[in-house]
Protein backbone atom coordinates (compact mmCIF):
# COMPACT_ATOMS: atom_id res chain seq x y z
CA UNK A 1 0.00 0.00 0.00
CA UNK A 2 2.99 2.29 0.64
CA UNK A 3 3.30 4.79 -2.21
CA UNK A 4 7.09 4.78 -1.95
CA UNK A 5 7.13 1.19 -3.13
CA UNK A 6 4.64 1.21 -5.99
CA UNK A 7 6.73 2.73 -8.80
CA UNK A 8 9.96 0.80 -8.10
CA UNK A 9 8.01 -2.48 -8.06
CA UNK A 10 5.93 -1.72 -11.16
CA UNK A 11 9.01 -0.58 -13.08
CA UNK A 12 10.97 -3.67 -12.00
CA UNK A 13 8.20 -6.06 -13.04
CA UNK A 14 7.76 -4.35 -16.39
CA UNK A 15 11.53 -4.42 -16.98
CA UNK A 16 11.89 -8.12 -16.11
CA UNK A 17 8.66 -9.56 -17.52
CA UNK A 18 6.97 -8.78 -20.79
CA UNK A 19 3.82 -7.09 -19.56
CA UNK A 20 1.98 -3.87 -20.21
CA UNK A 21 -0.11 -3.83 -17.04
CA UNK A 22 0.32 -4.93 -13.44
CA UNK A 23 -2.64 -5.47 -11.13
CA UNK A 24 -1.86 -4.28 -7.61
CA UNK A 25 -3.58 -5.77 -4.58
CA UNK A 26 -2.62 -3.87 -1.46
CA UNK A 27 -2.91 -4.36 2.25
CA UNK A 28 -0.77 -2.70 4.89
CA UNK A 29 2.05 -5.13 5.69
CA UNK A 30 0.77 -7.69 3.20
CA UNK A 31 3.74 -10.04 3.64
CA UNK A 32 2.95 -10.30 7.34
CA UNK A 33 -0.77 -10.58 6.69
CA UNK A 34 -0.33 -13.45 4.22
CA UNK A 35 2.17 -15.20 6.47
CA UNK A 36 0.36 -14.80 9.80
CA UNK A 37 -3.33 -14.00 9.43
CA UNK A 38 -5.83 -16.81 9.43
CA UNK A 39 -8.41 -15.10 7.21
CA UNK A 40 -7.15 -13.75 3.89
CA UNK A 41 -10.35 -14.25 1.91
CA UNK A 42 -10.55 -10.74 0.44
CA UNK A 43 -6.96 -10.94 -0.78
CA UNK A 44 -7.64 -14.36 -2.33
CA UNK A 45 -10.80 -13.00 -3.99
CA UNK A 46 -8.83 -10.11 -5.49
CA UNK A 47 -6.13 -12.46 -6.79
CA UNK A 48 -8.83 -14.66 -8.35
CA UNK A 49 -10.25 -11.64 -10.19
CA UNK A 50 -6.76 -10.76 -11.41
CA UNK A 51 -6.15 -14.32 -12.63
CA UNK A 52 -9.59 -15.25 -13.95
CA UNK A 53 -10.76 -11.97 -15.43
CA UNK A 54 -7.61 -9.94 -16.09
CA UNK A 55 -5.62 -13.03 -17.09
CA UNK A 56 -2.65 -12.45 -14.77
CA UNK A 57 0.09 -15.02 -15.41
CA UNK A 58 2.12 -14.74 -12.21
CA UNK A 59 1.86 -13.44 -8.66
CA UNK A 60 4.34 -11.29 -6.74
CA UNK A 61 4.48 -10.94 -2.98
CA UNK A 62 6.29 -7.75 -2.00
CA UNK A 63 7.75 -6.68 1.31
CA UNK A 64 9.75 -3.53 1.88
CA UNK A 65 12.10 -1.60 4.09
CA UNK A 66 10.50 0.74 6.63
CA UNK A 67 7.12 -0.99 6.42
CA UNK A 68 4.74 0.54 8.92
CA UNK A 69 2.07 -2.14 8.48
CA UNK A 70 4.51 -4.94 9.34
CA UNK A 71 7.25 -3.21 11.37
CA UNK A 72 9.76 -6.06 11.62
CA UNK A 73 13.41 -6.38 10.61
CA UNK A 74 14.65 -7.36 7.15
CA UNK A 75 15.21 -11.01 8.03
CA UNK A 76 11.69 -11.46 9.37
CA UNK A 77 10.27 -9.73 6.29
CA UNK A 78 12.18 -12.20 4.12
CA UNK A 79 10.73 -15.06 6.18
CA UNK A 80 7.21 -13.64 5.87
CA UNK A 81 7.63 -13.24 2.11
CA UNK A 82 8.79 -16.87 1.76
CA UNK A 83 5.88 -18.10 3.91
CA UNK A 84 3.45 -15.99 1.88
CA UNK A 85 4.75 -17.43 -1.38
CA UNK A 86 4.31 -20.97 -0.02
CA UNK A 87 0.82 -20.20 1.26
CA UNK A 88 -0.30 -18.80 -2.09
CA UNK A 89 1.14 -21.85 -3.88
CA UNK A 90 -1.45 -23.95 -2.05
CA UNK A 91 -4.14 -21.95 -3.90
CA UNK A 92 -2.39 -21.71 -7.27
CA UNK A 93 0.23 -24.48 -7.54
CA UNK A 94 0.62 -24.05 -11.30
CA UNK A 95 1.42 -20.34 -11.06
CA UNK A 96 4.80 -18.74 -10.75
CA UNK A 97 4.70 -16.93 -7.40
CA UNK A 98 7.65 -14.65 -6.77
CA UNK A 99 8.84 -12.97 -3.60
CA UNK A 100 10.27 -9.48 -3.91
CA UNK A 101 12.02 -7.25 -1.38
CA UNK A 102 12.36 -3.47 -1.74
CA UNK A 103 15.49 -2.45 0.14
CA UNK A 104 16.44 0.76 1.92
CA UNK A 105 17.57 2.28 -1.40
CA UNK A 106 14.11 1.53 -2.90
CA UNK A 107 15.66 -1.07 -5.21
CA UNK A 108 13.80 -4.30 -5.90
CA UNK A 109 15.45 -7.63 -5.14
CA UNK A 110 14.03 -10.98 -6.22
CA UNK A 111 13.95 -13.40 -3.30
CA UNK A 112 12.23 -16.50 -4.58
CA UNK A 113 9.99 -18.05 -7.18
List average pLDDT for each run of 10 residues in the chain, which is 113 residues long.
Answer: 92 93 94 94 97 96 96 96 97 96 97 74
The reported pLDDT for the residue numbered 106 is 96
Cα–Cα separations (whole angstroms), residue 36 to 77, 79, 82: 12, 11, 12
The CATH classification number of 3-17+25-112 equals 3.40.1050.10
Closest CA to 99 of 86, 88, 85: 85
The reported pLDDT for the residue numbered 104 is 96
Q: What are the residues whose beta carbons fall under 8 Å from the beta carbon of 79, sequence distance 6 or more?
A: 35
The reported pLDDT for the residue numbered 16 is 95
The reported pLDDT for the residue numbered 1 is 85
Amino acid sequence: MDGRVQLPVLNWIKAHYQTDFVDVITEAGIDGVLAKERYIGEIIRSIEVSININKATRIFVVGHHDCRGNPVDRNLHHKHIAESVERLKTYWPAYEIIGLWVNDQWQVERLSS
